[in-house]
Amino acid sequence: MALEERPGGAGLIEAAEGKAFEQVVVYRLDRLSRDTLKCLLAIERLKGLGIPVVSVDELTPSVVFVYWMLGSTIRLFLARQRDAILPARP
C-alpha cells in the first residue's frame, strides 16, 4: 500500500508539504511500507519535499547503499519494461 493510501500516510505527506517538520524518523524503513518499491517511492516523495527519512535501526552506510542499489535496479527494470510495452501499442 502506498504511503498516501495508509491511514496516517496522507496526513504525513500533507504535513510535509506544509513544512510542519524537518525530518521523518522511523525505527525501520519497512515501517513506511513493507513493499520495497513503495518504501523507496515514499522516501523519494519526502526527499523531494525537502524532508529526509532517518531510520534508527538502519543508519549504516552499507544499508543506505543497498537501498540505493535496489531503487536503481527497480527503476532500470521498470524503464526497460515501459520501453518494451510502449512500442507494441498500435
Tens digits of per-residue pLDDT, 9-58?
A: 889 989 999 999 999 988 888 888 888 888 888 888 899 999 998 887 76
- Main-chain phi, psi angles of 34, to 5 degrees: -80, -15
Which pLDDT does position 7 carry in this prediction? Answer: 79
Which pLDDT does position 88 carry in this prediction? Answer: 63
Find where cell 495508509 sits: 6
Rounded mean pLDDT, 66-77: 84
Torsion of CA 8, 9, 15, 19, to 10 degrees: 140
Nearest alpha-carbon partner for 4 in 47, 36, 33: 33
Which pLDDT does position 58 carry in this prediction? Answer: 65
Torsion of CA 64, 25, 49, 79, to 10 degrees: 40
Which pLDDT does position 49 carry in this prediction? Answer: 93
Architecture of the domain delimited by 3-88: 3-Layer(aba) Sandwich (3.40)
